[in-house]
Every structure is written in structure tokens, then in C-alpha cells.
């Protein structure tokens, strides 16, 4: 099955559309696709314990690989070693890796 790379740059608290991206990622994973959700810019905020973290954890539980851009985390003072279980800090190279791999890529 085709693999997917979804890139989310928005904080769910600033845009409700982010939750649609989470739902899309989780739905694709439940259908058996390899899915990576790459959080970047304000998209990394749910990786800091907050009201929207539970939604991100649900995405992880659906089988999505959730990566948070380490540069964006640093910019916002979010420590990479205090992320929710299943969310990993990653360099921007992770996006290039998955593009080269041939994942269908969507900037949400």
C-alpha cells in the first residue's frame, strides 16, 4: 500500500483544520498504510503537554509515525526528551528521506 507523508505546520489551537489532518493520518494508518505525520513550526505545540496533546496521542495509537521538527521544538523551548510517548524529535532531513522513498506527500 502507498505510504504517506503528511506535514502539519499549524497548532490545533490556532486552526481547527489541524484536527482534520490528524484524522486523515489516523484513517490512512488504520487502513494499513505507512503514514508519517511531520509536525513543524507551530504544528509542534501539541507535542508540549497541553489540551491538544490527547488528539496527537490518538494519532500515535492509530499507528502513525509522529515526528516533531527538532528546530521548531528548539525555537519554542520544547524539550525533545519530554515529548509524549510515540512522538519523536527529528531533523528536517526526515522529510527528504520520505520524499526520496516515494511517499505521497501533503502539506496540510
Partner 1 sequence: MTRSEEVAMTERKKLALLLMDAPYESARTTTALRLVDAAARRGLDLTVFCYEGAVALSFARQAPHANAVHGRDVAQEDHPNPKDWIAALMVQAEQSGGRLAWINCGLCVDERGVGEVAAGIGRGSPVDFWKAAEAADNTLVIPTRG
User: Can you tell me the distance from the alpha carbon of 85 to that of 68, in angstroms, rounded to the nearest whole number?
Assistant: 12
Q: How many of the chain's residues bind partner 1 (CB under 8 A)?
A: 19
40 binds partner 1 (CB under 8 A): yes
Q: Considering the complex, state which of residue 28 and residue 62 has its C-beta at the smaller distance from partner 1.
A: 28
8-state DSSP, 48 = S
Instruction: Give the interface segment with partner 1, choosing from 18-26, 56-64, 80-88, 90-98 (CB under 8 A).
Output: 90-98
Q: Smallest distance, Å, CB 67 to partner 1?
A: 14
| Residues numbered 42-61 forming contacts with partner 1, rule: CB under 8 A | 42
Near partner 1 by CB under 8 A: residue from 4, 9, 37, 44:
9
Count Cβ atoms within 10 A of the Cβ of residue 93 and give its class: 0-12 exposed, 13-18 middle, 19 or more buried. Answer: exposed
102 binds partner 1 (CB under 8 A): yes
Q: Considering the complex, state which of residue 57 and residue 92 has its C-beta at the smaller distance from partner 1.
A: 92
Residue 29's contacts (CB-CB under 8 Å, 6 or more residues apart) are 35, 59, 62, 63, 64
Amino acid at each position: 500500500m502507498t505510504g504517506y507523508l503528511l506535514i502539519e505546520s499549524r497548532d490545533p489551537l490556532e486552526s481547527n483544520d489541524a484536527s482534520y489532518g490528524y484524522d486523515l493520518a489516523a484513517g490512512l494508518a488504520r487502513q494499513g498504510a505507512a503514514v508519517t505525520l511531520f509536525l513543524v513550526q507551530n504544528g509542534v505545540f501539541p507535542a508540549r503537554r497541553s489540551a491538544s496533546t490527547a488528539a496527537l496521542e490518538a494519532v500515535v495509537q492509530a499507528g502513525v509515525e509522529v515526528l516533531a521538527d527538532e528546530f521548531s521544538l528548539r525555537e519554542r523551548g520544547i524539550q525533545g526528551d519530554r515529548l509524549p510517548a510515540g512522538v519523536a524529535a527529528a531533523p528536517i532531513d526526515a522529510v527528504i528521506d520520505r520524499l526520496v522513498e516515494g511517499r505521497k506527500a501533503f502539506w496540510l
